[in-house]
Structure 1
């Protein structure tokens, strides 16, 4: 498989569930040539599997605080993640995870979806659901940055 999609997030924390929702959508009706991994809130569990696959492209999708409007989607330079995102719901900082995988993937793309509400037992907002649907629709025929702007 030349493309791996790593979906990150916690579905029990409102908009942080964008990644797991995307994984569910792909499981129900796959789009394009992607092997989909639901990394949940501990995506580091998938490192060994991704390393064995040596994908040409690794796309990581996560709800990400970028200071934008809720539901906005951006490609984020992995080198900027450590400086930008001090708060995380994950066990390991994503920049560390990305650094581990850069050696094993031809291209690593980090795609952030701007959340509105991240808190235990909050429902996902409609804007983030719509953004997740947009990402899902663009998986088929993905080229370059998938048509998304860079932050």
Structure 2
């Protein structure tokens, strides 16, 4: 099975660093059968690599303002991202990126972690660190939506 985990975010922006933190955790101690890419704040740079891999599952993890309590985690339907006007700190809107990759991946799952504080040089909050740990632990043995609720 070929699975790709695309971690998105900016580690210099407080809770927006959830994606890069997840990539660091996976680099230090891989979980499950995932090829991990740290897309940082410009995940579009990874499009060519993902297309080449042709994953069965592409899991995109990013801090996402969904109007929930900080640290809550939800699966967001990729088709709904554009209509939700989700807060993003990235160069390219994620719905555009996902649209580009849908034809190259069997399934695209977008997993959002609700941030609390997103600002330059703020530390990541404990709730978002804990949520990132939850995502990390569920990577091993991932099935379907990984046990996460849908938004």
TM-score range, shorter chain: over 0.9
Q: Deviations over 1:51-107 (max 9, x none)?
A: 001000000000000000000000000011011135320000000000000000000
User: Contact (CA 8 Å) 2:56, 2:106: kept in 1 or not?
Assistant: yes
- Specify every segment of 5 or more residues in structure 1 that has no aligned partner in the other structure, as ranges: none
**Structure-2-length-normalised TM-score:** 0.99
Spell out structure 1 runs of 4+ moving beyond 2 A. none
- Specify every segment of 5 or more residues in structure 2 that has no aligned partner in the other structure, as ranges: none
Inter-partner Cα distance in structure 2 for 1:3 and 1:92: 23
User: Contact (CA 8 Å) 2:70, 2:115: kept in 1 or not?
Assistant: yes
Inter-partner Cα distance in structure 2 for 1:110 and 1:63: 11
Inter-partner Cα distance in structure 1 for 2:128 and 2:85: 19
Once the two structures are TM-superposed, the CA of residue 28 in structure 1 deviates from its matched residue by 0.2
Inter-partner Cα distance in structure 1 for 2:95 and 2:85: 9
**Structure-1-length-normalised TM-score:** 0.99
User: Contact (CA 8 Å) 2:66, 2:86: kept in 1 or not?
Assistant: no
Inter-partner Cα distance in structure 1 for 2:87 and 2:110: 17
User: Contact (CA 8 Å) 1:78, 1:98: kept in 2 or not?
Assistant: yes
RMSD in angstroms over aligned alpha carbons?
A: 0.7
User: Contact (CA 8 Å) 1:65, 1:85: kept in 2 or not?
Assistant: no
Question: Aligned pair count?
Answer: 151
